[in-house]
Structure 1
Amino acid sequence: MPRWLRLTLLITSSATLLLVAVALTAVHLLLQPERITAVLQTQARAAGLELNLASPATPALFPRPALELQGITLSAQGASMPILLAARGTLALTWRTLLGRETVISQMAIDSPRVDLDALQSWLGRLPTGPASAPTQIPRIDAGVRITRGSLVRGNELLLGEVELETGQLAANQPFPLTISAKDAQGIPTQLRLSLTPSIKGGALQLDNISLRLSHSTTLTLQLAGEARWRGGADASALLAGKLDHADSGQYVTAIELIPANENTSLMLALKLDGPDNHADLRLPPLALADWWAQLDHDDGPTLAVPPGSGQAQIARIETGNITIEGLTIQANSDVPASAASAAAPAPSKAAPAKAAPAKPVPAKPDPVSTSP
């Protein structure tokens, strides 16, 4: 190789290395990773959380300005069990941040997060409670969120694996998309796609153009559309209607309505389902229903009690886990009219719940039920 060519290559490579070093130094100075990390930790403390990193955040320039976070741990203050553990995270920044303007995060990406449900519930239970009121404005979140290879656990028990989540930006009067996919402990895939447009109208939080699609494995798909409104506390209303497709049993007309509380009744959830061999017209108090559901998974063992609410239902077959229930008929508080298909079913005999529970309307005994593992 001619000497002049060797000198040219040496000078060019040296200049390139120098430019890269200068660029990295400038990026570090402009992005100020220590300051941004401190801001994130301050925001976490304001929510009663502690954010720790295994090593200081490092800046990156390509393919866009970003801060790389390694070994993320998020815990409730004073707790021994972390809520979230993640291998790494990335805060993608806008180019104007690199030019010395305000710090704007365009996307937050988290790789391989592990969320412990018990630790999360413990932190939520310690949050202060008080009368809830509807927000006066929609908080603007310019950063979308992306989670890959996540998992949801309870202690050492895997609840959901291969969790993938992606959202868009949140802003008033703009569509907000959310997509979640995961697999349960048996490896069965589930996916949720949700889109809505939030706004503040008449002192209430309004959610318009709600579109929801939930699929489980290849056998069940639920599609709903509608709107919702919240004025604060239990003054909430919603109406979602659509269809449920089951590969084995057919298609069902489905409607879910949230009825706001008043001086005489609590917040109620009305559920209607009408299709081949399955009909339901039920009213359920969602808060009491959540307590009832929690008792089925109690640490001391499940408490078998009749779910709260009123209405009628005829269900040909239910499969959950290793339990199969066939020929289930429910009738409680005949004040809720049954659908035309439900009215033709024979009236069941009376019976008490399987285990003592807080006083609720005593439902009729179901028709013969067979269970098989």
Structure 2
Amino acid sequence: MPMNRRLRAGLYVFGGVCALLLVTAVVATYVVLQPERFTALLQSRARAAGLELTLANPASPTLWPSPALDLEGVMLRGEGSSTPLIVASRGRVVLPWHTLLGGEATISRLEVEGARIDVDAVSAYLDTLPSRPSTAGATLPTIDAGFRIARGTLLRGTKLVLSNIEAEADRLASGRRFTLTLSARLADGTPYALDLDTVPTLSRGVLTLADMTLGLDSDPRFESTLKGTATWRGGADVGASLTGRVTRHDATPYDVALRVMPANENDPLYVALKLDGDTDHADLRLPPLALAQWWAGIRGTGSLTMPPLVGTVQAQNVDAGSLHVKGLRIRATPDAPAATATVGVAP
């Protein structure tokens, strides 16, 4: 009997010590991490960019598996705007361990889950930013912390643009290798995935993306990998040279050569694209700005017109959704652009 009494007493003492340690750890977590300090840091950074950050509940700190603050009901909107740019069900701010020792309040990673992004609201916010001089050199956005987006959705007002968005990137800094992975589904359910691996370098107003590998695929329809370099000197002064291959699930592959030529006194910015397959060939020049205007016109009027491209297309078969064409031939020259080009289709 005395043994059982001592055993019970020992268990009570042990349980009390564990409870005390647990309470101490919880209190220490709140005291050391100081959730209000990092919440204020996030909000101050948002205000510096002309944004307002609000949370549905105060941040909740945790130490495992690394120091972090869990956020609920994250909303980001432009100052003075009633429409949020981003609404997320949950967020997580991962902190470096040295913050536990009273170090500088910095963030090592941002994670967002269930984010809804409004393209129109983002565009309206960007319009409020001061324009950069046309002579200004390139810039490299500061991303000290890596980020991750899970189960994201991209909207234009109430219209779905992309769903099931999964994105992840590490720190972005000059001279440091940078990787980005992105996957999503179009409104019709078609899946796409993009992978970028490069070393960005910013020097004297010139941003160079060296040793770049760009992958784009839509499983199981096609996979593509391009390698090369790109440069940006500010404004429309963009250049790139990429080569690679497109592998198609139900057809022969393409060899691809892609060049981006910067604007000059005579020509706008344009993309030169060459595709070479066993039966299909294309050699095109596409001006991105004019293409954007063409697409906006189609969306506005609903009438289908030829895009503003120059070059030639020779395709044995074209299958795009409900559109099926055999023996397609297009020839568009500077004097006869695609809108008035010669188009031939085999019977």
- What TM-score do the two structures reach when normalised by structure 1? 0.85
Tell whether 2:246 aligns with 1:238.
Answer: no
- Which amino acid letter does the alignment assign opposite residue 302 of structure 2? P
Tell whether 2:130 aligns with 1:153.
Answer: no
Q: Aligned-pair distance for 1:70?
A: 0.4
Match for 1:192 among 171, 191, 194? 194
With 202-211 and 302-311 compared, the bigger mean Cα shift is at 302-311
Alpha-carbon spacing, 1:329–1:78, altered in 2? closer, same or farther (3 Å): farther
Q: Is the 8 A contact 1:249 1:276 kept in 2?
A: no
Post-superposition CA distance 1:2-55 (Å, at most 9, x none): 122222222222222222222222221222211211221222223232211101
Give 2:16's aligned residue.
14
Post-superposition CA distance 1:74-114 (Å, at most 9, x none): 12233333221111111111111111111232211111111
Structure 2 CA distance for aligned equivalents of residues 80 and 304 of structure 1: 36
- Specify the SS of the correspondent of 1:307: coil
Post-superposition CA distance 1:269-302 (Å, at most 9, x none): 111111133211111222122222222333xx42
- Which amino acid letter does the alignment assign opposite residue 71 of structure 1? G
Paired residues for 1:286-325 under 5 Å: 286-298=288-300, 301-325=301-325
Give 1:346's aligned residue.
none
Alpha-carbon spacing, 1:129–1:27, altered in 2? closer, same or farther (3 Å): same
Structure 2 CA distance for aligned equivalents of residues 334 and 88 of structure 1: 52
Give 1:332's aligned residue.
332
Q: Is the 8 A contact 1:330 1:363 kept in 2?
A: no
Q: Is the 8 A contact 1:140 1:172 kept in 2?
A: no
> Any gaps of 5 or more consecutive residues in structure 2?
none
Tell whether 2:137 aligns with 1:134.
Answer: yes
- Which amino acid letter does the alignment assign opposite residue 265 of structure 2? E
Give 1:356's aligned residue.
none
Match for 2:51 among 49, 53, 59? 49
Structure 2 CA distance for aligned equivalents of residues 187 and 309 of structure 1: 28
Q: Is the 8 A contact 1:152 1:160 kept in 2?
A: yes
- Specify the SS of the correspondent of 2:20: helix
Structure 1 CA distance for aligned equivalents of residues 278 and 272 of structure 2: 20
Give 2:181's aligned residue.
179
Q: Aligned-pair distance for 1:179?
A: 0.7
With 44-53 and 234-243 compared, the bigger mean Cα shift is at 44-53
Post-superposition CA distance 1:304-336 (Å, at most 9, x none): 33322322222334344443444332222268x
- The two structures, once aligned, show a CA RMSD in angstroms of 2.3
With 199-208 and 152-161 compared, the bigger mean Cα shift is at 152-161
- Which amino acid letter does the alignment assign opposite residue 342 of structure 2? K
Structure 1 CA distance for aligned equivalents of residues 38 and 344 of structure 2: 62
- What TM-score do the two structures reach when normalised by structure 2? 0.90
- Which amino acid letter does the alignment assign opposite residue 85 of structure 1? V
Q: Aligned-pair distance for 1:125?
A: 3.3
- Which amino acid letter does the alignment assign opposite residue 275 of structure 1? G
Give 2:81's aligned residue.
79
- The size of the alignment, in residue pairs, is 344
Give 2:343's aligned residue.
366
Structure 1 CA distance for aligned equivalents of residues 319 and 44 of structure 2: 47
Structure 2 CA distance for aligned equivalents of residues 369 and 48 of structure 1: 56
> Any gaps of 5 or more consecutive residues in structure 1?
336-349, 351-359
Alpha-carbon spacing, 1:265–1:33, altered in 2? closer, same or farther (3 Å): same
Alpha-carbon spacing, 1:234–1:334, altered in 2? closer, same or farther (3 Å): closer
Post-superposition CA distance 1:196-219 (Å, at most 9, x none): 100124541111011011111212
Alpha-carbon spacing, 1:319–1:4, altered in 2? closer, same or farther (3 Å): same
Alpha-carbon spacing, 1:250–1:34, altered in 2? closer, same or farther (3 Å): same
Post-superposition CA distance 1:166-198 (Å, at most 9, x none): 111222222101111122333332211111100
With 63-72 and 264-273 compared, the bigger mean Cα shift is at 264-273
With 226-235 and 36-45 compared, the bigger mean Cα shift is at 36-45
